[in-house]
Amino acid sequence: MFASKAVARQHFLTARNARPAEDLLPGARSLPLLQSAQRIALYVSMGAEPQTGALIDWLLASGREVLLPILYADNDLGWGVAPGAADLVPGRLGLSEPRADLGPLAISTAQLVLCPAVAVARDGVRLGRGGGSYDRALTRVTPGTPIWAAVYDSEVVDALPSDPHDHLVHAALTPRGLVPVG
């Protein structure tokens, strides 16, 4: 067990930055829920994160609607419908975002939510980057909607430090497939 979230976050980010980025699409393409959900909340990956670009393109090409986050000044998240990747605009902290904001409650209309994570524990604890954006946004997800965290296989671990405000996830999506947790 890690002594704190900060220690765990540093450990996983250091390891992640030392590895080549991998795409999530190979592990996701055959998953029934990704084939049937019509509206999926996702995010645009950055740097060494598990890559979401091909997954977003595949979902859009197959007629699904993809919601992407818009980071507000208070670190809360609004959501916009994904256009083509060329139509995204620069957002805060170097993020790529849709132009039109549907507001923070738009995530409640998603049939599947795929959020970023630094690591995921087998009990469903998700370790993010520490800003609290997704913990707030995930409270708005309609109960019963699956929430998956995108990580690498080595980032699915037995235990992580957690706080009462942390929102649990149902599975970890890795480049090799889905790992149920929780």
Q: How far apart are CA 143 and CA 4, in angstroms?
A: 29
**What residues are designated binding site?**
44, 49, 126-134
**What residues are designated binding site for substrate?**
44, 49
Q: How far apart are CA 69 and CA 110, in angstroms?
A: 12
**What residues are designated binding site for ATP?**
126-134
Q: How far apart are CA 174 and CA 178, in angstroms?
A: 6
CA neighbor of 123 nearest in space, from 91, 156, 86: 156
DSSP 143: T
Cα-Cα end-to-end distance for the chain = 17
* CB of 170 closer than 8 Å to CB of 182: yes
